Structure 1
């Protein structure tokens, strides 16, 4: 795979990295692809149509999409539309990379170490109070750590999926890691009459009772964080410590201010209605771009596969509709256990300010900002190791 150098920058297509000296510059996959195509063809002008074909595979996207990727590429290179030191706009035709490019041969990478195996898990089932069948899984050894269910999980597939595999693998090393699929998702019943936030909290209660747990730390990720907060407020005798990551107290419809934010919240529902069940992944890739903006093409493909396998198009709409109405601000004030809140500093799906809001609401809480753009942390980014270290230290206190 080619490696190109221009000034202090290195574009390494094998590692899928743009580096400035030793520092890796985070860019979205499509921005990286646009930059790669321009640098790889720096001896000529690249037309807009060629970029559309190369980066978007010929799918119809508006010209604004290309313009925004060009702007982001320039920003990553400390360039802009006025100076055009690296990317020149050729009016009416396209763009040309005008930096001085040096081709390099990439040094052979050392053989990759085999990934640690995911521990064996035991999957069982219990019934919620209204009869809905819930699937739960237990993996690892040590003190218990329960994860409140969140959207898009599948107990049988998660240990293979790059989206969740490292969560199961790494948290099962130190703890008896307990997780479950929420109603309408994964191995739990997809046909569930009731689909409310209170049902999700009650489902967590059912799993805890089925396992006979008395007191345990509770982990909540994304919307599962709100479920964990509500459970901790309702059962202060059960939850010893609370860990939240990418969580929020208010759903998108509740926190939306002004018409633009309300339209953005409604767009989630419309995308799920129109595109969730289609073979063409273009609609679902909108979610991938929000949850994993720094993910690779492989990460996005894995996320798309996860979306299709975990729930039906109808349930996806029901989930998103209910997520938008979440509001646990009052419950958050009633949480009495020590709480660790971690949030990606540049989270595209749930901005950092909503993690800060949770830290303001929960009395005995501490906020840690993670250096990431991703809503769901990936296995290879440094923020994942920071997350693990913070969890271990917090639960060991």
Structure 2
């Protein structure tokens, strides 16, 4: 795993905060521009081919050379470079590009140091691609050995970035130590195709089916987090022969628009969409921090900053609105009653994004489901809180039982 900061000239490239700084001040760059620059800096001892950049930044999906050229131009502008001087980014004609700036600090292949001073183990994963039922390309990753554990796709993931991001890296790190942990970027997100013609709840359930079918999994436990919980419930109800056990965390049966009672709750549901429309692509993080305050209110400053970067990196403003529109109208109450496998439902008691009563409702709807209340108020569990240890212990005991 790479060290967070690489220094060259007056610039710092910080992969931990997903930030380029000049003389201590953040230089605004779009996510794909940052990715292009990060790949070039990491491979600075050689020329990086265009195909390598297409694979690393766009997941290998087809994009024209004009898209890459525009990102190179934007990276040069951010560095005060241009196509003539090429102080930092050199064009290797007919092949690709090479970073030629002098790096004065930074090591690129060490482990990340944990808050307690111990180095976190590097997570090794295999990223691959499959096709959804409608032909759209889906990216999935496999990490670890042992019995399989599949996580249904949920909002705001990026398979390559998640192993470094404080938002998700402990999920990948800890679960891959005990399981063959399988996860994927849902359509419109991360390394999966962003230009998705279909964007419905049924598309998400079908995408889960496409991933597990491509891996030729016969029977497996299924994990659903947040809105991915509803997807997992629907898949388990429709494929009772495939899901051995179901684990849900921060999940719900009814989206905000479905469960809204009265004008105040309906206005709150509509505000989500307006914030995404106005603030997602804005350089001012104030809009996006509203989401951070709901998802991880008990997080550290680093958690909030990482969540902000995660939002911008994982999907577009247009897709963020599409996601939120679909989330608001989720309703799996009927399907929940059809789940036949053993089920464990966990939910933070002070969850601000999805109040705990909706997790309790979901557990009540699923026959013989067991409910565990987790201490804290974070919708997405952070590495340092007691709820994460409880979640892992309960999950392990449930899957082993």
1:134–1:183 Cα contact (<8 Å) kept: yes
How far off is 1:115 after superposition? 3.7
2:272 pairs with 1:271:
no
Q: Secondary structure at the match of 1:180?
A: strand
Aligned to 1:219, which of 220, 223, 237? 223
Structure 2 counterpart of 1:255: 259
2:189 pairs with 1:179:
no
How far off is 1:111 after superposition? 8.8
Aligned to 2:326, which of 304, 322, 327? 322
RMSD of equivalent CA atoms:
1.1
Q: Secondary structure at the match of 2:248?
A: strand
How far off is 1:223 after superposition? 0.1
- Structure 1 length-normalised TM: 0.72
How far off is 1:118 after superposition? 3.6
How far off is 1:378 after superposition? 0.3
Structure 1 counterpart of 2:307: 303
Which residues of 2 match residues 102-113 of structure 1 at below 5 A? 112-113=116-117
Give distance in 2, aligned partners of 1:370 and 1:187. 31
Q: Secondary structure at the match of 2:141?
A: strand
How far off is 1:255 after superposition? 0.4
Unaligned runs of 5+ in 1: 1-109
Structure 2 counterpart of 1:28: none
Residues 103-126 of structure 1: CA deviation (Å, up to 9, x unaligned): xxxxxxx99332431420000000
Q: Secondary structure at the match of 1:220?
A: strand
Aligned to 2:285, which of 267, 273, 281? 281
Structure 2 counterpart of 1:91: none
Give distance in 2, aligned partners of 1:319 and 1:270. 13
Aligned to 1:231, which of 235, 240, 245? 235
Residues 58-91 of structure 1: CA deviation (Å, up to 9, x unaligned): xxxxxxxxxxxxxxxxxxxxxxxxxxxxxxxxxx
Stretches (4+) displaced over 4 A: none
Residues 101-157 of structure 1: CA deviation (Å, up to 9, x unaligned): xxxxxxxxx993324314200000000010100000000000000000000000010
Residues 187-206 of structure 1: CA deviation (Å, up to 9, x unaligned): 00000011000000000000
Give distance in 2, aligned partners of 1:210 and 1:114. 37
2:342 pairs with 1:338:
yes
Judging changes above 3 Å, is the alpha-carbon distance between structure 1 residues 111 and 230 closer, same or farther for their aligned structure 2 residues? closer
Structure 1 counterpart of 2:209: 205
2:142 pairs with 1:138:
yes
Give distance in 2, aligned partners of 1:340 and 1:354. 14
- Structure 2 length-normalised TM: 0.71
Give distance in 1, aligned partners of 2:308 and 2:201. 25
Residues 358-393 of structure 1: CA deviation (Å, up to 9, x unaligned): 111000200000001000000000110000000000
Unaligned runs of 5+ in 2: 1-113
Give distance in 1, aligned partners of 2:249 and 2:119. 24
Residues 216-261 of structure 1: CA deviation (Å, up to 9, x unaligned): 0000000000000000000000000000000000000000000000
Structure 1 counterpart of 2:294: 290
2:169 pairs with 1:165:
yes
